[in-house]
Amino acid sequence: MDFFNHVQGRLMAEQTDVAQLAEQFGTPLFIYSRATLERHYHAYANAMPNRDLMICYAVKANSNIAVLNLLARLGAGFDIVSGGELERVLLAGASPSRIVFSGVGKTESEIERALQIGIHCFNVESPSELHQIAAIAERLNTQAPISIRVNPNVDPKTHPYISTGLKQNKFGIKMTDAPDLYRFAHQHQHLNPLGIDCHIGSQLTDDGPLLDALDILIDQIDTLASEGISLKHVDLGGGLGVPYIDEQPPSPAQFMARVDERLGDRNVSLVLEPGRSIAANAGILVTKLLHLKQGEDRKFAIIDAAMNDLLRPALYQAEQKVVPVVEQDRDTYTADLVGPICETGDFIAKGRTINTAVGEFLAIRSSGAYGFTMSSNYNSRPRAAELMIDGDKAYVIRQRESLSDLVRGESLLP
C-alpha cells in the first residue's frame, strides 16, 4: 500500500498535489513518499518479534541520501555493493555495525575501508575474495567478519536478467566449495565466519524458491554446527516482489513467518536485504506529454521522461502503471508512451489506453526503486530532480542537473 491516491480526480502524494509539484519543479520528476517508505520498512522490521532480525535495505534500489537517512533513523541496516554506496550510507548516518557488503568484485581499497570502519559482515562471493579479505585483515591486524554467499542453484522464476541464484549466474560460491571455505575461515586468526547468505533474484512473486534456498542454507548450517562451526545468522538477500500491475507477492510478514518456522529453534538470527519492496511503490515518476503522433501503424504519445530516466521497460520489458495526474472526462485513445531518446528501445509503456492531452502530466507508478539509481545522461539529458513528500511538505532531495553538470569533469585538448 502506498500514499499516492487520486482525490477528486487529482493525484496526491500524501497531502501534496502532484500537478502543482510538476508545475513548480518541472518534469521529469521523481516524487517519493516518506510515509510509504516508513510503512514498507516497518512491514519488515515488525514482522519477527521473537528472533533477532536485521533489515539491511539494499541501497542500489534507491540511494538518495535522504532516503537512506530516513531508513537509518528507523534503525535500518544497509546492504551495499560498492565503496560509493558505503560512503553514501555513512553520510546518511548509518551505523557501520549494521552494514553488510555484497558484490562479486570488491576492490582492495573498498575492503580496507569497510574493515577500518567495522562493518557487520562481508558477503563473500568467491574463494579468491575470501583469501584477499583474510590478507587485508591480517595486514590491518584485525578480524574480518564474513558470510559465504552460496549459489543454491534454485530457479527464482523471474526475468533472466534479475535471476542470480542459478548455477549459470556469476553470483555466489558453489555449494560444494562452501564447507572447506568455512573450515579455512574458522581456523584463520583474521577471519570470523559469522553467517551464510544467498540472494537468488529480484521481483519474486512466489516465495517458494526463497524457501527452497533457505532449506539448502539450513542444511549447511547444521552440517557446520556438527563440526563445531556455529554460524550466527542466515541472510536470504532481497527479492520479494511488488505489485507493478496485478502481481500478488507474499507480504514480508507472510514470508518471514515461513522463514521463522523453518529456522525453528536454531539459535540463528535473520538478515534480509530488501530493496524494491521498500522503495518501488514509494515513488512515482511524473512526466509531461509533449506531442501526440499518429504513425502508420500506431499512435505515439511522446513524453519528456525517457529510458535514461527509467530504464526498466527498455531493459527488462518491465511494465509499470501509468496514470493521469489530473483525471479528465474525455475520450480515450491507445498509444505507445515513448521518450525523446534516439532509440527504438526508448519506451516507457506500450499500447496503453489513456486520455491525456498535450501539455498534461502522467505519473509512472512504482518508480521509487531502480528508477533514479539506474538513470543516466544518455543523449546529454540532465538527470531528473527528486522530491521527498512528508505530508503536505515537499523537500528537494536532489536538484535537477544543470547543463553545466553535464560536462563537469570534461576538458578540451590544449
Give the SS3 label for residue 98: helix
Give dist(CA 90, CA 92) in Å, integer: 5
273 binds ligand LLP (CB under 6 A): yes
Give dist(CA 378, CA 89) in Å, integer: 27
- Measured from the CB atom, the residue of 226 and 248 that comes closer to ligand LLP is 248
Stretch 84-103 residues interacting with ligand LLP (CB under 6 A)? 102
**Which range touches ligand LLP (CB under 6 A), out of 132-140, 224-232, 268-276, 396-404?**
268-276
**Which residue in the shown chain puts its C-beta closest to ligand LLP?**
238
Select from 11, 22, 48, 61 the one that contacts ligand LLP (CB under 6 A): 61
146 binds ligand LLP (CB under 6 A): no
162 binds ligand LLP (CB under 6 A): yes
Burial of 35 (0-12, 13-18, 19+ CB in 10 A): middle
- Fill in the per-residue mask, 374 to 413: x = in contact with ligand LLP (CB under 6 A), - = not in contact: x---------------------------------------
> Minimum distance between the CB of residue 206 and ligand LLP, rounded to whole angstroms?
14
Give dist(CA 230, CA 334) in Å, integer: 59
202 binds ligand LLP (CB under 6 A): yes
- Measured from the CB atom, the residue of 138 and 212 that comes closer to ligand LLP is 212
Long-range Cβ pairs for the range 392-396 (8 Å, 24+)? 392/14, 392/15, 392/16, 393/16, 394/16, 394/21, 394/25, 394/31, 395/66, 396/25
Confirm whether 121 is a catalytic residue.
no
> Minimum distance between the CB of residue 64 and ligand LLP, rounded to whole angstroms?
15
Q: Does the CA dihedral 236-241-247-251 come out positive or negative? A: positive
- Measured from the CB atom, the residue of 98 and 276 that comes closer to ligand LLP is 276
3-state secondary structure 291-326: EEEECCCCEEEEECCCCCCCCHHHHHCCCCCEEECE
User: Which cell numbers hold the place of 246?
Assistant: 496485478
| Annotated active-site residue in 56, 121, 198, 342 | 342
- Measured from the CB atom, the residue of 14 and 125 that comes closer to ligand LLP is 125
Measured CA distances, 172 to 70, 80, 121, 140, 294 (Å): 30, 16, 15, 26, 49
Q: What is the DSSP letter of 340?
A: S
- Measured from the CB atom, the residue of 38 and 85 that comes closer to ligand LLP is 85
158 binds ligand LLP (CB under 6 A): no
CA 36 to chain CA centroid, Å, is 15
**Which range touches ligand LLP (CB under 6 A), out of 84-92, 133-141, 272-280, 284-292?**
272-280
Give dist(CA 146, CA 138) in Å, integer: 14
**Which range touches ligand LLP (CB under 6 A), out of 6-14, 112-120, 198-206, 388-396?**
198-206
- Find, among 288, 374, 387, the residue nearest to 339 by Cα: 288
Q: Which run of H or E residues covers position 334?
A: strand 333-338
User: Which cell numbers hold the place of 308?
Assistant: 535514461
Stretch 302-331 residues interacting with ligand LLP (CB under 6 A)? 312, 316
> Minimum distance between the CB of residue 153 and ligand LLP, rounded to whole angstroms?
16
- Fill in the per-residue mask, 222 to 261: x = in contact with ligand LLP (CB under 6 A), - = not in contact: ---------------xxx----------------------
44 binds ligand LLP (CB under 6 A): no
- Find, among 175, 183, 201, 91, the residue nearest to 146 by Cα: 183
Do 320 and 265 touch, CB atoms closer than 8 A? no
Pairing mode, strands 16-17 and 10-13: antiparallel
- Measured from the CB atom, the residue of 33 and 151 that comes closer to ligand LLP is 151
Do 46 and 66 touch, CB atoms closer than 8 A? no
**Which range touches ligand LLP (CB under 6 A), out of 26-34, 107-115, 199-207, 348-356?**
199-207
Give dist(CA 92, CA 67) in Å, integer: 8
368 binds ligand LLP (CB under 6 A): no
Residues touching ligand LLP, count (CB under 6 A): 20
- Measured from the CB atom, the residue of 17 and 235 that comes closer to ligand LLP is 235
Mind telling me the catalytic residues?
Answer: 342
The residues of the shown chain that bind ligand LLP, judged by CB under 6 A, are 58, 61, 79, 102, 162, 199, 202-203, 237-239, 273-277, 312, 316, 370, 374
